[in-house]
Amino acid sequence: MQEPGPSTGLTVRVRLLFTMLALTTSVLLAAGATGFLLERLSIERSAVVELDREAAGFIALAQNMTDPQTGQPIDSTSTLLRVAIEQRVLAPEDGVLGIVNGRIEWVAPEVAVLRLEDDPALVSVLQVAAMASTTTQGRYTDATHDLVYVVIPVRGQTPANSGALVRAIDLVPGFRALESTYRLYAAAAIVIGLVAGVVAWAVMGRLLAPIARLRETAESINRDDLSQRLDVSGHDDLSALTVTINSMLDRIEALVEGQRQLADDVGHELRTPLTILRGHLELLDPTDGAQVAQTRALALEEIDRMSRLIEDLLLLASTERADFVVPTVCDLAELTDETFALVCRIDERPWKLAELAEAEVVADPQRLRQAWLQLVDNAVKYSPVGSPITIGSRVENGEAWLWVGDLGPGIPAEERARILQREVRGENALASGRIGQGLGLSIVIKIVQAHHGRLDIAAGAEGGSVISLVLPVPNVVEGGLHDPDPDR
- In single-letter form, the type of residue at position 190 comes to I
Give the CA distances from residue 215 to residues 69, 206, 225, 242, 442, in Å, rounded to whole numbers and listed in that order.
88, 15, 16, 11, 36
pTM equals 0.50
Position 230 in a domain: no
Number of domains in the chain: 3
State pLDDT tens for residues 137-157: 999 999 899 999 999 998 876
Distance CA 149, CA 206 (A): 61
The CATH code of the domain that includes 245 is 1.10.287
- Asked if the structure places residue 206 within a domain, the reply is no
380 with 470, same domain? yes
Domain holding 71, by residue range, is: 13-178
Asked if the model's pLDDT at residue 380 lies above 70, the reply is: yes
Residue 281 lies in a domain: yes
The mean pLDDT value of the chain amounts to: 81
Strands (E), 348-421: 351-353, 356-357, 360-363, 389-396, 399-405
Q: Could you tell me if residue 141 is inside a domain?
A: yes
DSSP 125-179: HHHHHHTSSS-EEEEEE-SS-EEEEEEEEE--SSGGG-EEEEEEEESHHHHHHHH
* Other Cβ atoms closer than 10 A to 69: 9
Do residues 254 and 320 touch, judged by C-beta distance below 8 A? yes
Reported as half-sphere exposure (CB side, CA atoms, 13 A), residue 281 has a value of 10
Q: Between β-strands 94-100 and 103-107, what pairing exists: parallel, antiparallel or unpaired?
A: antiparallel
**Residue 6 forms part of a structural domain:** no
The answer to whether residues 61 and 133 belong to one domain is: yes
Provide the CATH number for the domain around residue 372.
3.30.565.10
Mean pLDDT (whole number) for 348-366: 89
* Statement to judge: residues 286 and 368 lie in one domain: no
Query: What count of residues does the chain have?
Result: 488
Residues 110 and 59 in one domain: yes
Give yes or no: residues 420 and 467 share one domain: yes
Q: Is there a contact between 216 and 231 (Cβ–Cβ < 8 Å)?
A: no
Q: How many CB atoms lie within 10 A of CB 152?
A: 25
Last residue of a domain, one of 288, 318, 348: 318
* Burial category of 383 from C-beta neighbours within 10 Å (exposed 0-12, middle 13-18, buried 19 and up): buried
Tens of pLDDT, residue by residue over 292-346, are 888 888 788 778 777 766 776 677 666 666 677 888 988 999 999 999 988 888 8
Instruction: Report the distance separating Cα 328 and Cα 269, nearest Å.
Output: 35
- 437 and 314 share a domain? no
Both 385 and 422 in one domain: the answer is yes
Rg (CA), the chain: 52
SS3 457: strand
In 3D, which of 392, 360, 361, 363 has the Cα closest to residue 376?
392
Q: In which element (H, E) is residue 259 found?
A: helix 237-283
Q: pLDDT, tens digit, for every residue of 217-271?
A: 777 776 667 777 777 777 777 778 778 888 888 878 777 776 776 666 666 566 6
Q: Does residue 444 sit in the same domain as residue 405?
A: yes
Per-residue pLDDT, 166: 93
pLDDT(52) > 60 = yes
DSSP label at 383?
S
**Cα–Cα dist 137/443, whole Å:** 101
What percentage of residues in the chain have a pLDDT greater than 70?
A: 83
Indicate the pLDDT class of residue 167, thresholds 50, 70 and 90. very high
Task: Note whether 264 and 311 are same-domain residues.
Answer: yes
- Answer yes or no: is 216 within a domain: no
The answer to whether residues 360 and 468 belong to one domain is yes
CA distance linking residue 54 with residue 63, whole number of Å: 14
Domain with residue 114: its CATH number is: 3.30.450.20
DSSP state of 362: E
Instruction: Report the DSSP pairing between strands 146-154 and 163-170.
Output: antiparallel
pLDDT tens digits for 408-466?
Answer: 888 887 777 666 665 544 444 434 444 444 567 777 888 888 888 999 988 888 888 99
Could you tell me if residue 373 is inside a domain?
yes
pLDDT for res 438: 54
269 and 336 both lie in a single domain? no
**CA nearest neighbour of 462 among 356, 376, 352, 381:** 352
pLDDT > 90 in the chain, percent: 28
Check the CA dihedral 284-285-290-293 and report its sign.
Answer: positive
139 shares a domain with 69: yes
3-state secondary structure of 346: coil
Residue 123 domain-assigned (yes or no)? yes
Residues 408 and 379: beta-carbon distance below 8 Å: yes
CA atoms lying within 13 Å on the CB side of residue 164? 25
User: CA 483, CA 488: separation in Å to the nearest integer?
Assistant: 11
H-state helical runs in 319-412: 332-343, 365-382
β-bridge mates for residue 396, sequence order: 399
Asked whether residue 384 carries a pLDDT value surpassing 50, the answer given is: yes
CA distance 109 to 145: 19
